[in-house]
Amino acid sequence: MAEKKFKPVLEQLALATKGAAEIIREEELKNKLLDSFQKNKPLRVYLGVDPTAPDIHLGHTVVLRKLKQFQDLGHTAIFLIGDFSAMIGDPTGVSETRPPLTREQVEKNTETYLKQVFKILDKKKTEIRHNSEWLGKTTAEDVVRLCSHYRLARMLEREDFRSRLDKNQPIAVHELLYPLLTALDAVALESDVELGATEQKFNLLVHREIQREYGLPGQVVMTMPILVGLDGERKMSKSLGNYVGITESPGEMFGKIMSISDDTMWQYYELLTDFSSPVVVRLREEVQMGVLHPMDAKMQLAHAIIAGYHGEEAAKKAGDEFRLVYRDRQAPTEIPEMRVNWGTRSLFTLLTETGLAASRSEAERLIKQGAVEIDGSVEKDVKRKIALKPGDLLPLRVGKKKFLRVVGV
């Protein structure tokens, strides 16, 4: 008899459901895991992504990490690239019909996206598929037959569409087809579990229903929460500027993560680290009791996240640099230099000339607020003159993050 390669079902269930927003249905997932364990056969778990943008931020990794957890449990992780569906455009969460991408745009985004995905998934154990494999061969007859399995009234119950109808905003027919065509992904892959964000719940449920219409057992749908951005209010998004990119430098990532609120920190612990839920609960209790300082808990969080993408050594170095600059108020070990023509000029002129301030008014405001340091000393005199001679080195600091060594030439 073949050796069992899976952990006990309840142990698998605890890891698989960690951090999940909703599981439809959890009892079905438990039964599928039990059947998998008894037959020593992995479940087929998939995540479909339309490569509409090339870069991945921590918000994207929430569901990717869930796929990795199933992979680590021994199940088949399928990463589906929606190269066909990306040219249609997922209507989820959009208030107007979005322009479709070209095949060239999709292919370019896919190449960059995959390089980042494999910072999380095990490349050798991941089944990579493209839905153009089957959707590119779908005939008009196939589409008509597919559409006969779903009612228009149910499609229009969808919140995105209902809202646009109420506002007399247009809905293109291809947007109605999106969840149906991507349901053929679930049919072609014969998936047992599909993962997605909470905002994709409607699509995932359509996929589950269409599977059954095509004679397959309905997949379990598992949705993951939307990660809150650095502002602690809105979803993490590059367009909102509240994101942490996984290819950013360790130092940049560390500083951004340390900027989140103490409350937001716990969602990050739950969704972005391998700490078990009981461990996260204990850490939170230690902070509440004053045993653990919130900044130390946050530094531990930043280290854990960055180590996953850049390695332990890089994470430690970023943490040491953060302590040096922000906690100990010292200059970083590496400071950029700028060569400036010698002579005498006002401090606010030097700040704007070097790009440390965007305008004279901003420079004067920063000086008055005590946010400007010259060689380690705070300078609040807006009339201060700076005399530079060739070869002079002048360390400047503006705020917490901006350092510059001015070199007279």
Q: Is residue 241 part of a domain?
A: no
Look up the domain containing 300 and give its range: 250-327
Cβ–Cβ < 8 Å for 386, 380: no
Mean pLDDT within 212-241? 92
Residues 203 and 288 occupy one common structural domain: no
The DSSP output letter for 324 is: I
Q: Is residue 231 part of a domain?
A: no
- Digit-coded pLDDT (tens) for 256-292: 999 899 999 999 999 999 998 889 999 999 999 989 9
Residues 287 and 387 occupy one common structural domain: no
Residues 357 and 320 occupy one common structural domain: no
The pLDDT score that the predictor gives to residue 106 is 82
Q: Is residue 295 part of a domain?
A: yes
pLDDT band at 156 (very low <50, low <70, confident <90, very high): confident
Question: How many domains would you assign to the chain?
Answer: 3
Give me the half-sphere count of Cα atoms (radius 13 Å) on the Cβ side of residue 240. Answer: 15
Cβ–Cβ < 8 Å for 225, 198: yes
- Give per-residue burial for 28-54: e unless 16+ CB within 10 Å, then b: bbbebbeebbeeeebbbbbbbbbbbee
Range with the lowest mean pLDDT among 82-86, 136-140, 192-196?
82-86
Residues 289 and 177 occupy one common structural domain: no
Q: Are strands 372-374 and 343-346 parallel, antiparallel or unpaired?
A: unpaired
Average pLDDT over the chain reads: 87
Residues 404 and 307 occupy one common structural domain: no
pTM: 0.75
Residues 209 and 262 occupy one common structural domain: no
The pLDDT score that the predictor gives to residue 1 is 43
- d(CA 71, CA 68) in angstroms, rounded, equals 5
| C-alpha gyration radius of the chain | 26
| Residue listed under structure tokens 């401090």 | 347
